[in-house]
Amino acid sequence: MAYAYLFKYIIIGDTGVGKSCLLLQFTDKRFQPVHDLTIGVEFGARMITIDGKQIKLQIWDTAGQESFRSITRSYYRGAAGALLVYDITRRDTFNHLTTWLEDARQHSNSNMVIMLIGNKRTQSAFPWTGIICIYSHKLTSLSAIFENVDLESRREVKKEEGEAFAREHGLIFMETSAKTASNVEEAFINTAKEIYEKIQEGVFDINNEANGIKIGPQHAATNATHAGNQGGQQAGGGCC
Amino acid sequence: MNFLRGVMGGQSAGPQHTEAETIQKLCDRVASSTLLDDRRNAVRALKSLSKKYRLEVGIQAMEHLIHVLQTDRSDSEIIGYALDTLYNIISNDEEEEVDDVEEENSTRQSEDLGSQFTEIFIKQQENVTLLLSLLEEFDFHVRWPGVKLLTSLLKQLGPQVQQIILVSPMGVSRLMDLLADSREVIRNDGVLLLQALTRSNGAIQKIVAFENAFERLLDIISEEGNSDGGIVVEDCLILLQNLLKNNNSNQNFFKEGSYIQRMKPWFEVGDENSGWSAQKVTNLHLMLQLVRVLVSPTNPPGATSSCQKAMFQCGLLQQLCTILMATGVPADILTETINTVSEVIRGYQVNQDYFASVNAPSNPPRPAIVVLLMSMVNERQPFVLRCAVLYCFQCFLYKNQKGQGEIVSTLLPSTIDATGNSVSAGQLLCGGLFSTDSLSNWCAAVALAHALQENATQKEQLLRVQLATSIGNPPVSLLQQCTNILSQGDKIDRRGSKIQTRVGLLMLLCTWLSNCPIAVTHFLHNSANVPFLTGQIAENLGEEEQLVQGLCALLLGISIYFNDNSLESYKKEKLKQLIEKRIGKENFIEKLGFISKHELYSRASQKPQPNFPSPEYMIFDHEFTKLVKELEGVITKAIYKSSEEDKKEEEVKKTLEQHDNIVTHYKNMIREQDLQLEELKQQVSTLKCQNEQLQTAVTQQVSQIQQHKDQYNLLKIQLGKDNQHQGSYSEGAQMNGVQPEEIGRLREEIEELKNNQELLQSKLTEKDSVIENLKSSQTSGTNEQSSAIVSARDSEQVAELKQELATLKSQLNSQSVEITKLQTEKQELLQKTEVFAKSVEVQGETETVIATKTTDVEGRLSALLQETKELKNEIKALSEERTAIKEQLDSSNSTIAILQTEKDKLELEITDSKKEQDDLLVLLADQDQKILSLKNKLKDLGHPVEEEDELESGDQEDEDDESEDPGKDLDHI
C-alpha cells in the first residue's frame, strides 16, 4: 500500500467516447460493453511502478454530458494529469477538443499534463456483438474480425490528425482501445511518467497538494535528503 | 421588495414606526452618501438595529447592503458590517436563543422570515457568487462573517444554494480553502459551513472529497487529540459522515486513500480510566458510526467486504475488540462498539473467525462470544446492550457455516464439557431459552434460529440435542422442550406478558422446520403439537393474540409444505383436511396474513440490526421477516390446493420424473454412441495412416523394381552387342561400346600369337625331324664305314644344329614365358571383367591393356548371365512382395469398407435416435406445456413450484448441439 507518490488524474471528453471504459479497463482490467452514463464523477484507483517507484494513481472519471460540465470543472484544479479522450469513429468528438482544452487550461493549474487519446469505441455500432459473445463463444472471433474490418472503414479521424492536434497544443498523443485494452496501460503510465519527469525537473511544487500530487507517507520524512540527492542525480545525468 | 413590504408592512406599523423611519434614513445614507465614512457609519447603525428589528432592516436595507458588497470591496470594515447585518437578518440562530420563552408560533414566524430573506438574497445568483468571491478576502472581518452568512444561507435553503455554488466556477474548491485557514475560528466555522454544504448532495460531497477533505479533516482530528479533542473533532466527524454516508464513490476513495488505517488510533482508548467526558463519549460515538458507515449492510457487498478486509488488516477490528473487552467503558459506547464490531465482521469469514478467537481477559479466559451471550441473557443488563449483543451474534453467524456448526456443536452430547467448569455458548442459549425472562427467551430463540439459518446440516444436528429437565425424568429433546413450553405458556395465566417468549419460540420452530422435512417429522411425531396449533388458530382470541395465531398458522403451514408424508397419521392430505374441518381455509389464510400485516413487521424487515425503542417493540427478527416473505405465498397456495390437484401434481411430478428418466436414458445412450463413434473414428484414422504407409512402401518398391528393370534392360542391350560380336550366344549381357573393340583387338593379337606359335612349333618339328634324319643317317653312316671327314662335317653340322636348337628352345621358352605372362594378364582381366560385370556402372578402363582369349569373354558372359539370373530372381521376389502388399492393401480396403458400413449403420442409428429425441422433445415440449399449465394451476392454487425443470430443458438443448457435431464430422470422412 505504501507509495512514493500519489497522482490525481481526471478523464475528460465528450459523452460516449469511452472514458468510463478506459478507467474500468485500467483499474479492473475488464471491459463492459454496456455502460451506464456517468453521473457527475466516479472514482477509481490503481498502483503503478515508474522508475522502480510505486506510484498511486487516483482517477476521477467525469461525466461528458454538457449538463455536468459545471460540476466536472471543479476537478480540474486539483488534478496533476488529464486524459482528454475523443472517439476516432466520431468526427464531432474530435472537433470539440478545442473547447475541452480551453476549459481545461482555464481551470487547471498550468503544469497539468494532458494526454490526448483517440479511443476506439467499436461496440456502439455493434450492440449485438456483446450479445453474440455471451451466447456463442464460437462467434467471438468472427465478430472480432468484423469489427477490425469495420473499424478502419468507420474511422473518421485519422491518426495523423490526432498527432497534429497534439503537436500543435503540446499534448502527448496515443490511440487506444478500451475494448482490447490496447495502449490503455500505456496511456495512464506515460502520463504518469511525464508528471514524474516534471517533478524531477522541479516544475511541480510537490508540497502543495492542490496540484494533485502527494508524496507518500514514508517518503515525506526523507524528502529533504531525497531532493538533495536528486540534484546530484540530475548533474550526473547531464554528464551522460 | 414592494410586494414583501405590502405583505409584511402591517406588522411593522405601529409602535415601531419611528424605528422604521430611522432605518429608512440609514438606508438612504447608505445609498446616497458619497463619503465612505458616512456610509460605513450608516451600515454599522443598521447592524446594531438588525437583531432587534430584523424584519424592518431586512425589508428596507438588504438591497443597499448587497450594493455595498458590490461597490465597497476595498474597505473591509464596511463589508464586514454589511455581512454581519445580512447574517443577523437571515440567520435564525440568535433568534432562537432570544425567543426561548416566546411561543412556538413566533419562532416558526422567525424561521419563515429567515428563509424568506434567504430566498430574496439568492434570487440573484450573482449575490451568492459575490459572497463566494468575498470569502477569498483574507481579512478576518470579511471572511468570518462571510462564512457565517453563507452557512446560514445553506441552512435555510440548502438545495438551492448548493446548486448555485455547484455551478459557480471553483465555488466548492474555494470553500475548501477555509479548512487550511490558520485562524482556528475560521477553520472551525469552515467545517460547519462544509457540513451544511455537503448535506445530501452527492456531487458536492465528491468535489469536497476530491479537494483532499479526508486528509485535512483527519489531520485536524489527530491534531486535536482524536476522541479527547473538543467540539471541533465532533464537527469534523459529522462532516466526514456527510461525505461518506451513502456515497459509494467517496467510500471507495476513502478506502483507496488508505484512510481506514488512520481511523485505528481513534480507538486506542487507554485503559487508565482517564475519564469519559461527555464530549469524548460523543466523539467516540461518531467515530464508531463512521466505521459503521463504511461497512453498512446496505452498502454494495463488494465495497463492504473490501472495507472489512482493510479493517482487519490494519488492526482496527482488533482495536475495537479490546474496547469490547475493556472495563469501565460507558454502556452506550460499549453498545455502539458491539454494533460496530457486528457490522465489521458481518458476512466476512476472516473477521468472523478472528472474532470467534477473541478471548475476554478473565481468569480462566473465556471466549468473547460467551461473555457477550452472558450479557444477552442477563435481565439486569441494559436493553440496548442486549439487543447489540444479539446483533453481534447474528452478524457472527451470518453466512458463516463454520460458526453455526461451532455453536450448535456446543449443544451436542459428544462435545459438552462433562466437568461443567466452563459455560458454553449453547448452554447459555438453552438457559436463555427456558429462563423466566421473556426477553432472554426471545433473544436466545432468535440467536439459535440464526445458528440454523440456511444450514440444513445444523437443523438436523440440533434435533439430536437432549435436555435433562429434572432428576429422575428422562431427557427431553430440545424440540420437544420448545413445544412443551409453548403449550404450557398458553395454559399458565401469563398471557400477553409472555408474548415475546411465544413469538421467539415460534420463530425458532418456523426457522428450524422450514426446508427440513426431518425436523417436520420430528415435530409431528409428538401427537400433542398439531392439536395445540389447530386449537390456537381456531380459537377466537383478542387482538393481542392475533400475532401468535398467525405464527401458529405459519408453523402448521410449514409442517404441511415441507412434509415428506413419512408419518401415516400426519400426511399433507390429512393435515389439510384437518385445517378445513377445524379452522376453515379462509380463516387459516387470514390468520396467516396477520404476521405480515403487523405494524412492527415492516419495521423489522428494513434493517438487519435489531433496533427496538423499548422491549415491547421486540417482536420480529429481520431474517425471520425474509422467511415469512418467502413462505407466505407458497403456503397459501398449498392450502388452497385441493387433494385432487395435489394428486395431479404428484402425478405430474412422477411423469416429469419419468420423462426425466427417459431423457437421461437417451442422453446416456447418445453419450455412449458418441463414445463409440469417437472410437471408430480413431480406428479409421489409424487404419488410414497404416494404409498410407503401406502405399508409400509399395510405391518405393515399385520404383526400385523399375530401377532394376532399367538396369536389367541396359545389361540386356550390352549383352546383345556382345552377342553380335561373338555370335555364339543367343542371350547375354550387354557390354559397353569400348570393350568389344578392345576384345577384338586382343583376340586378333591372340590369333597372331597362336599363328606365331604354330609356325614356331611346325619349324621346331621340322628341325626335330631333320635332326632325327641326321642322327639316323649318322649311325648308318658309321656303321657303313663312312669317312671321318664326313663324320667331322656332320658333327659340325650337328653342333650347329644343336646350337640352333638351343636358341630355338630358348626362343620357345621366352615365348612360353610370354604366353604365361599373357595368360596371367588375361586372368587378371577376367577377374576385372567379373568385377565390372557385378558393378554395372563402373566400366573398367583396366581392360584396355588386356588381350585375352574367347574363354575369357565367355567367362565374363557367364558371369553376366548369372547376374541376370540373380536380378531375375530379385525381380521375382519383388513381384512376390508386391503381390503380398497388394493383398494387404485389399484387406485394409475391405476393413475400411467394413468400417464405412459400420459408420453408416451408426449414422442411421444416430438419425433414428435423433428422430426419437425430436419426438421426445416434442413430447417433452407438450409435457412442458402441460407442466407449465399445471404449474400455473399449482401456483394459482398456492403450491410452490421448483424452477429446476427449466434448467433441465436448457441442458437438453446443449445435448442436441453436441450430438450434431460428431455427425457432421462423420459426413466429411
Residues of B in contact with A42 (CB under 8 A): 249
Claim to verify: residue B587 and residue B658 sit in the same structural domain: no
**What is the reported pTM?**
0.66
Q: Which pLDDT does position B852 carry in this prediction?
A: 52
pLDDT > 80? residue B311: yes
Q: Helix, strand, or coil here: B684?
A: helix
d(CA B892, CA B899): 10
Return the C-alpha cell found at A51. Answer: 522508475
Peptide bond into B301 cis (omega under 30): no
A-chain CB neighbours of B216 within 8 Å are: none
- The predicted-structure confidence for B376-390, as pLDDT tens digits, reads as follows 988 888 999 999 999
B785 pLDDT tier (thresholds 50, 70, 90): low
pLDDT at B471 > cutoff 80: no
Torsion angle defined by CA atoms of residues B401, B403, B409 and B415, in that order, rounded to the nearest 10 degrees: 130
Domain end point (choices B664, B685, B706): B685
Domain shared by B456 and B588, yes or no = yes
Half-sphere exposure of A32 (CA within 13 A, CB side): 15
Taking CB atoms and an 8 Å cutoff, what residues of chain B touch A65? none
Note whether B557 and B513 are within 8 A (CB): no
Mean pLDDT of B875-893: 84
How far is the C-alpha of B448 from the C-alpha of B458, rounded, in Å? 10
B562 and B665 fall within a common domain: no
Listed ranges B97-101, B291-295, B885-889; the one with the highest mean pLDDT: B291-295
The residue in chain A having the minimum alpha-carbon distance to the alpha carbon of residue B162 is: A71
Question: Could you tell me the three cell numbers for B570?
Answer: 400426519
Of A45, A107, A209, the CB nearest to B256: A45
Question: Alpha helix (H) ranges present in B99-246?
Answer: 104-123, 125-134, 140-156, 158-167, 171-176, 184-198, 202-210, 213-223, 231-244
CA distance B337 to B285: 8
| Contact indicator for B212, A79 with CB cutoff of 8 Å | no
Question: Which structural domain range is residue B627 located in?
Answer: 402-413+423-641
Amino acid letter at A82?
A: A
Q: Which residue has the higher pLDDT, A193 or B841?
A: A193
Chain A residues with beta carbon closer than 8 angstroms to that of B257: 45, 58
Out of A70, A77, A209, whose CB is closest to B173?
A77
Give the number of other Cβ atoms within 10 Å of residue B844's Cβ. 17
Kindly report, residue by residue over B98-128, the tens digit of the pLDDT.
444 444 555 566 667 888 888 888 888 888 8
Residue A58: which of B166, B211, B256 has the nearest Cβ?
A: B256
Q: pLDDT digit string (tens) for B606-663?
A: 889 988 888 888 889 999 999 999 998 888 888 887 767 777 777 888 888 888 899 9
The Cα of A13 is separated from the nearest Cα of chain B by a number of Å equal to 18
Cβ contact A74–B170 (<8 Å): yes
In a domain, B460, yes or no: yes
Q: Which of A24, A39, A66, A74 to mutate to test the interface with B (most CBs of B within 10 A)?
A: A74
- Per CB-CB distance under 8 Å, the chain B contacts of A1 are 258, 261
Tens digits of per-residue pLDDT, B7-48?
444 444 444 567 778 888 888 888 888 888 888 888 888 888
Question: Does residue B174 lie within any of the structural domains?
Answer: no
- Are residue B591 and residue B659 in the same domain, yes or no? no
Most confident of A81-85, B224-228, B528-532, B563-567: A81-85
CATH assignment of the domain containing B586 = 1.25.10.10
What grid cell was written down for B27?
438606508
Q: CA-to-CA distance for B750 and B313, rounded, in angstroms? A: 117
- Same-domain check for residues B583 and B678: no
Closest CA to B512 of B469, B554, B474: B554
A43 neighbourhood in chain B, CB within 8 Å: 206, 249-250, 252-253, 256
Phi, psi of B550 (to 5 degrees): -60, -45
Specify the DSSP class assigned to residue A38. Answer: P
Q: In this complex, how many residue pairs, one in chain A and one in chain B, have their CB atoms less than 8 Å apart?
A: 56
Q: Above 90 in pLDDT, residue B848?
A: no
Q: What residues pair up with A46 in beta bridges, in sequence order?
A: A57
Q: Check if the beta carbon of residue B625 is closer than 8 Å to that of residue B604.
A: yes
- From the CA of A45, how many Å to the nearest CA of chain B? 7
- Chain A residue at shortest CA distance from B314: A1
- State the pairing for strand pair B476-477/B466-467: antiparallel
**A43–B206 CB contact, under 8 Å:** yes
Compute the distance between CA of residue A68 and CA of residue A72 in angstroms, rounded to an integer.
6
From A80, A158, A114, A109, select the one nearest A12 (Cα to Cα): A114
Same domain, B634 and B598: yes
Q: Of B149-163, B513-527, B958-972, where does mean pLDDT reach its minimum?
A: B958-972
The confidence band for A121, taking pLDDT boundaries of 50, 70 and 90, is: low
Classify residue A46 by burial, with Cβ atoms within 10 Å: 0-12, 13-18, 19+: middle
CB contact under 8 A, A77 and B170: yes
Same domain, B653 and B537: no
Contact B210 A1 (CB under 8 A): no
Q: Do B210 and A209 touch (CB under 8 A)?
A: no
| Alpha carbon distance A181, A168 (integer Å) | 27
| B99: exposed, middle or buried (Cβ count in 10 Å: 0-12, 13-18, 19+) | middle
Q: Are residues B540 and B674 in the same domain?
A: no
CB contact set of B80 (below 8 Å; sequence gap of 6+): B139, B141, B142, B145
DSSP B637-661: HHHHS-HHHHHHHHHHHHHHHHHHH
Question: Of B613, B641, B669, which one is at a domain's C-terminal end?
Answer: B641
Q: What is the pLDDT of residue B53?
A: 81
Residues B534 and B627 reside in one and the same domain = yes
Closest B-chain CA to A61: B249
* Interface contact flag, A73 B169, Cβ < 8 Å: yes
Q: Among residues of chain A, what percentage have pLDDT more than 70?
A: 76
Of all residues in chain B, the percent with pLDDT exceeding 70 is 84
Range A5-124+155-219: architecture per CATH: 3-Layer(aba) Sandwich (3.40)
Across the interface, whether the CB atoms of A78 and B211 are under 8 A apart is answered yes
CA A136/CA A127 separation, integer angstroms: 15
Residue with C-alpha cell 403439537?
A: B529
Domain for residue B745, yes or no?
A: no
User: Cβ contacts (< 8 Å) between A209 and chain B: which residues?
Assistant: 212, 215
Specify the amino acid at residue B944: P
Q: Which of B670, B685, B700 is the last residue of a domain?
A: B685
**B648 and B579: one domain?**
no
Is residue B219 a part of any domain in this protein?
no
Domain regions of chain A by residue span: 5-124+155-219
Report, as an integer, the average pLDDT of B494-501. Answer: 64
How far off is chain B from A210, nearest CA to CA, in Å?
7
Position with higher pLDDT, B321 vs A137: B321
Question: Which residue(s) pair with A53 in the sheet?
Answer: A50
Chain centroid offset of residue B718 CA: 85
Per the domain annotation, does B378 fall within a domain?
no
Residue B747 lies in a domain: no
Closest CA to B334 of B386, B373, B290, B295: B386
In chain B, what residues touch A45 (CB-CB under 8 Å)? 252-253, 256-257
Q: How far is B253 from chain A (nearest CA, A)?
A: 7
Instruction: Work out the minimum CA distance from B451 to partner chain A, whole angstroms.
Output: 36
Domain check: are B560 and B455 in the same one? Answer: yes
Paired strand residues for A50: A53
* Sequence letter at residue B430: C
Is residue B837 pLDDT above 80, yes or no?
no
**Residue B5 binned pLDDT confidence (cut-offs 50, 70, 90):** very low
Judged against a pLDDT cut of 50, whether residue A132 lies above it is answered with no
Q: Which residues fall within 8 angstroms of residue B824, CB to CB, at 6 or more apart? A: none
Q: Which of B168, B210, B261 sits opposite A75 (nearest CB)?
A: B210
What residue of B is the nearest CA neighbor of A78? Answer: B211
Q: Per residue in B751-770, pLDDT tens?
A: 888 888 888 888 888 888 88
Residue with cell 422604521: B20
Contacts of A75 in chain B (CB under 8 A): 207, 210
Residues on chain B touching A73 (C-beta within 8 angstroms): 169-170
Check CB contact under 8 Å for A74 and B207. Answer: yes
Residue B680 has pLDDT above 80, yes or no: yes
Task: Name the β-bridge partners of B294.
Answer: none
For strands A5-13 and B476-477, give the pairing. Answer: unpaired
Residue in chain B nearest A72 by alpha carbon: B207
Among chain A residues, the shortest Cα distance to B174 is held by A74
Residue A127 preceded by cis peptide, ω within 30 = no
CB contact under 8 A, B171 and A74: yes
B556 and B650, same structural domain?
no
A interface with B, Cβ–Cβ below 8 Å: 1, 8, 40-45, 58, 60, 70-71, 73-75, 77-78, 107, 209-210
Domain count within chain B:
2
Q: Do A209 and B215 touch (CB under 8 A)?
A: yes
Shortest distance, CA A153 to any CA of chain B (angstroms): 36
Q: Which of A5, A8, A43 to mutate to test the interface with B (most CBs of B within 10 A)?
A: A43
**Among partner residues B203, B250, B258, which is closest to A71 by beta-carbon distance?**
B203
Assign B234 a pLDDT band (cuts: 50, 70, 90). Answer: very high
Question: How many Å apart are CA B116 and CA B108, to the nearest integer?
Answer: 12
| Mutation target among B129, B172, B210, B965 for the A interface, most CBs of A within 10 A | B210
The nearest alpha carbon in chain B to A1 belongs to B258
Q: Look at residue B493 and tell me whether its pLDDT is greater than 90.
A: no
**Contact (CB<8Å) B203/A40:** yes
Any idea which of B186-190, B333-337, B753-757, B842-846 has the lowest mean pLDDT?
B842-846
Q: SS3 breakdown of chain B: % helix, strand, coil, rounded to 5?
A: 80, 0, 20
Best mutation target among B256, B262, B958, B961 (most A Cβ atoms within 10 Å) is B256
**pLDDT on residue B8:** 46
Nearest to B206 among A40, A209, A210 (CB): A40
